[in-house]
């Protein structure tokens, strides 16, 4: 069958760099660090005392207090982000068939804060089972997609993809597929996360996944740098309006980019560590190029997974060299987690947005905090160190990898 073309017509973001797309992009291109001391709780007894929190987010600007009590923070981020994307796409003024408009919204862990608070109350109350009736609806990862669809009356495909840090990239890929084959015309996709709480920081500390560089916390997220010691936790949300090309063109929508293709793979290696030879990462990028009908030399920019974990960055760098060969020397690569921290299930969404904005502005956002070359990482790779670079960006590839060995790559290109 002949696939329908798929484009992006709206964007929204609530991030550690800013609470809308304009602020987010300004932070990215200027190399701003979103990291600071944790304020969501007192981290005095934790090994890591810093994170990339969302700043100046006041839920009462968007919701009444009664409604706020029924929603976990990750859902609040989702609703605000989705509203931005819907408005940006001018979706509500369009003559939409609501039965063909879906919502695929992701979270890696869902309402972790709600889960922690309810169990705290249970144990402090002598194990008397007095749980809130909103406990389960606030906690489950799929609830954000449900809230968004209810708000707008969209009755198309509706669920949550959960694949750890690859979750919202999988939602983009699923949406692309459904629109390609004609199951939907428009799908709101994205992800949100709010895991900067005691159990979130403590759990990732126990895995030795987080940086513990409290002395230099502002620059602790150091992808590709020899002194990196783990990722920095982030929070927030990113949303995109994914639409069939002819549907978008008929209603006069602005088009940010076309989704040219995508790939998925598994490492089949380890619960939390990437394959040391980058096999899964290599396969997923090859799959994306094949799906897009592109050659390696067609790619200008890669927004890498780049978490600043000791083994993860090496594995991804090996895979890039294997897939792109000599063309890898001509690519720009950047790890925007150096600025935003790692938004877990929302990472794929905000990094897809960063890739699209790089194409729209012909600017490569930097990998900040880079000082010391790691001898195990190919020094010929241009990781766009510390400062944004101007160049023509026709195509960009966004990588997102998750615990469990879940790998995704999505390719965006200029509309033609």
Contact 28, 251 (CB under 8 A): no
Q: Which of 225, 196, 128, 166 is nearest to 344 (CA)?
A: 166
Q: Which of 190, 135, 228 is nearest to 351 (CA)?
A: 190
Question: How many alpha carbons fall within 13 Å on the CB side of residue 230?
Answer: 21
- Interstrand relation of 6-14 and 36-37 (parallel, antiparallel or unpaired): unpaired
- Helix/strand/coil (H, E, C) string of the chain? CCCCCEEEEEEEEEECCECCHHHHHHHHHCCCCCCEECCCCCCCCCCCCEEECCCCCCHHHCCCHHHHCCCCHHHHHHHHHHHHHHHHCCHHHCCCCHHHEEEEEECCCCCHHHHHHHHHHHHHCCCCCCCCCCHHHHHCCCHHHHHHHHHHCCCCCEECCCECECHHHHHHHHHHHHHHCCCCCEEEEEEEECCCCHHHHHHHHHCCCECCCHHHHHHCCCCCECCCCCECEECEEEEEEEEEHHHHHHCCCCCCEEEEEEEEEECCCCCCCCCCCCHHHHHHHHHHHHHHCCCHHHCCEEECCCCCCHHHHHHHHHHHHHHHHHHHHHCEEECCHHHHCECHHHHHHHHHHHHHHHHHHCEECCECCCCCECCCCCCCCCCCECCCEECCCCEEEEEEEECCCEEEEEEEECCC
Active site members: 165, 305, 342
Q: Which of 241, 56, 252, 260 is nearest to 148 (CA)?
A: 241
């Amino acid at each position: 069958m002949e696939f329908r073309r798929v484009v992006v017509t709206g964007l929204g973001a609530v991030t550690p760099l800013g609470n809308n797309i304009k602020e987010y992009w300004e932070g990215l291109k200027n190399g701003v660090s979103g990291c600071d001391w944790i304020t969501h709780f007192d981290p005095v007894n934790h090994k890591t005392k810093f994170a990339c929190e969302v700043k100046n987010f006041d839920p009462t600007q968007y919701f009444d207090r009664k409604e706020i009590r029924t929603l976990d923070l990750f859902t609040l981020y989702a609703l605000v982000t989705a509203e931005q994307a819907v408005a940006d796409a001018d979706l509500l003024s369009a003559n939409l068939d609501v039965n063909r408009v879906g919502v695929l919204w992701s979270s890696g862990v869902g309402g972790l804060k709600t889960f922690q608070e309810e169990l705290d109350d249970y144990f402090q109350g002598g194990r008397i089972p007095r749980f809130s009736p909103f406990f389960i609806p606030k906690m489950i990862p799929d609830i954000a997609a449900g809230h968004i669809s209810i708000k707008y009356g969209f009755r198309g495909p509706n669920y949550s993809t959960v694949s750890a840090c690859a979750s919202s990239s999988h939602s983009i890929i699923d949406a692309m597929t459904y629109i390609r084959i004609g199951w939907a015309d428009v799908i709101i996709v994205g992800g949100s996360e709010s895991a900067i709480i005691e159990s979130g920081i403590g759990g990732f500390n126990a895995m030795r996944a987080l940086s513990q560089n409290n002395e230099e916390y502002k620059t602790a997220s150091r992808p590709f740098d020899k002194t990196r010691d783990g990722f920095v936790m982030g929070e927030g949300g990113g949303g995109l309006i994914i639409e069939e090309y002819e549907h978008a063109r008929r209603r006069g929508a602005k088009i940010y980019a076309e989704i040219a293709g995508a790939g998925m793979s598994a490492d089949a290696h380890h619960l939390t560590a990437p394959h040391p030879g980058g096999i899964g990462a290599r396969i997923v990028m090859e799959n994306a190029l094949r799906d897009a009908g592109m050659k390696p030399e067609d790619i200008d920019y890669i927004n890498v997974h780049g978490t600043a974990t000791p083994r993860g960055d090496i594995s991804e760098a090996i895979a890039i060299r294997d897939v792109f060969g000599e063309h890898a020397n001509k690519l720009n690569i950047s790890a925007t987690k150096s600025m935003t921290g790692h938004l877990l299930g929302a990472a794929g969404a905000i990094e897809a947005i960063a890739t699209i904005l790089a194409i729209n502005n012909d600017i490569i956002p930097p990998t900040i905090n880079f000082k010391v070359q790691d001898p195990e990482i190919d020094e010929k790779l241009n990781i766009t160190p510390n400062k944004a670079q101007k160049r023509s960006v026709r195509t960009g590839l966004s990588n997102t990898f998750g615990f469990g060995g879940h790998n995704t790559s999505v390719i965006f290109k200029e509309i033609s």
